[in-house]
Structure 1
């Protein structure tokens, strides 16, 4: 049933299969060609599928044990490993001990038939190898021409960020419930946020709000994104928990249309504007504000604010905030 499905479509199919069961899902591709499908339900249940899409894969006991241990640390309720290859006998024993459900092609085909989801398989097979959800990561766009009439200050475009996640034994996006949509009270693309840690491991709470705008006005300058792009402005109010927390712009990326974008840096910015984008250092129980700006293609379908692996482990809460830039 899965022989004709492209390896890059396999994790996308698993995500869609989970969505039909009421999960909100997200697919993350790792540097080694493996994938993680994260799932979230309204009742707070978390799920994670570790995906080895190659038909030549053989997964052993140690890989399953590492995956189970990682799920234990991150508070994952539903643990699944899936492959178009095979699991060893030792892997199946380790899965029983670690409460991990294994899906090889035969087991997955049985699940598809039980759920009557054959049409879904065909949907991801008929398209051929169209590439993975995140396999197109362009080079950083360069600023376009400077329009006349307005003193537009050039911006320095940060490199596109490819989010690092490991298949097992490392750091991965652990899901929190999606929160909010739109930005700044205006209708527009839906926005969500991912935290890098399970609730019990968060070090601080980050109230956040977002808006989309064609230019950014500061005390002394007006900035515009490259041609064909728009700014996404994120305001964060961070409150530390039991220990001091440091939050920087570099801790975040914005995932939009299958590409993950790094924050923008601005030339000739005033000291006041730089302070609004400077790192937040908050003592236990204290708060600080941070402004993060991204530049993404116009007409994007929606976006997710993502805390990267080097972040302090925040719990995101959507709120209506005052912005530190117009």
Structure 2
């Protein structure tokens, strides 16, 4: 049933299948050809699917154990691994122990028939093998009775490491920032972090806007032609532990591409002081700016905290910016 489906379309299909079950979903590609599908529900349930789309893939026990341990650390409620290949017997034993639900082609085919969405398989089988973020999915993954479905907020997300890379895995369940938020009316900005409320190191209020230039005391920075800046303002309040934020802790996902923070040369001392890194002591608050260079036609972007970050709970807010435009 899934043989003709392009590898990049397979995670889209899974996310769409899930969306039909009432989850907000998004798909995140990794550099090694694996994917993460995340989702969330209004009741706060968080879930994650680790996807190896290759038809010749064989997933063993160690990969399942790493995935389960990662989900434990990040407070993921529902854990699913899916492949067009196969799971070993050891993988299935590890899945039982780690509360991970496994989906291979046979299990997926049965679910598709039970749900009556065979046409959905055909829709994704006909897709070009392009970016999985070209279109956010609209369908659900059926799971056996009693097994909760994996959730993910409707956001374009980024992961720069392998799905099953344990601690190296970049954060992958997106939670859209709440609150008002100013930002740019023409660009849909969302945020993405795996930190659950109970294990977040700090709360990061954030706002974002598009700027054609960044003006500092001794220089004006402009992007290359056909590019623009996205400036993110962060107001961070640490919890019981200090929070150190570095530029490498963040990425901005735009149209399936992960953008690292922009580096500036010959910047003023004042401007450098507004940028990361910054350290916020327990119970204290601090401000910081992160600037990304993205395509000028950007219409949607997601601020992502990578797995090596301190563990932030993002909250969208209408903030004053520390960088002039």
> Residues 11 and 74 of structure 1: is their aligned pair in 2 closer, same or farther, counting only changes over 3 Å?
same
Alpha-carbon distance, 1:182 to partner: 9.1
Which residue of structure 1 lines up, in the alignment, with residue 209 of structure 2? 211
Counterparts of 1:302-313 in structure 2 under 5 Å? Answer: 302-313=300-311
Alpha-carbon distance, 1:317 to partner: 0.9
Which residue of structure 2 lines up, in the alignment, with residue 100 of structure 1? 100
> Residues 248 and 61 of structure 1: is their aligned pair in 2 closer, same or farther, counting only changes over 3 Å?
closer
Q: C-alpha root-mean-square deviation of aligned residues, in Å? A: 2.3
Alpha-carbon distance, 1:195 to partner: 1.6
Gaps of 5+ in 2: 135-157
Secondary structure in structure 1 of the residue aligned to 2:290? strand
Secondary structure in structure 2 of the residue aligned to 1:266? coil
Deviations 1:299-322, CA, capped at 9 Å, x for gaps: 223001011233211111111111
Secondary structure in structure 2 of the residue aligned to 1:265? coil
Give the count of matched residue pairs: 300
Deviations 1:185-209, CA, capped at 9 Å, x for gaps: 5412111111243333321111111
Point out which structure has higher relative CO (alpha carbons under 8 A, 6+ apart): 2
Which residue of structure 2 lines up, in the alignment, with residue 232 of structure 1? 230
Larger radius of gyration: 1
Gaps of 5+ in 1: 136-160
Alpha-carbon distance, 1:172 to partner: 3.8
Alpha-carbon distance, 1:21 to partner: 1.8
For the pair 1:26 / 2:23, whether they are aligned, the reply is: no
Aligned mate of 2:189, from 188, 191, 208: 191
Secondary structure in structure 2 of the residue aligned to 1:7? coil
Aligned mate of 1:177, from 175, 178, 183: 175
Which residue of structure 2 lines up, in the alignment, with residue 8 of structure 1? 8
Secondary structure in structure 1 of the residue aligned to 2:323? coil
Which residue of structure 1 lines up, in the alignment, with residue 154 of structure 2? none
> Residues 97 and 270 of structure 1: is their aligned pair in 2 closer, same or farther, counting only changes over 3 Å?
closer
Deviations 1:17-60, CA, capped at 9 Å, x for gaps: 11222222232333432222111122211111111211112223
Which residue of structure 1 lines up, in the alignment, with residue 72 of structure 2? 72
Counterparts of 1:51-62 in structure 2 under 5 Å? Answer: 51-62=51-62
Counterparts of 1:101-120 in structure 2 under 5 Å? Answer: 101-120=101-120
Aligned mate of 2:284, from 283, 286, 289: 286
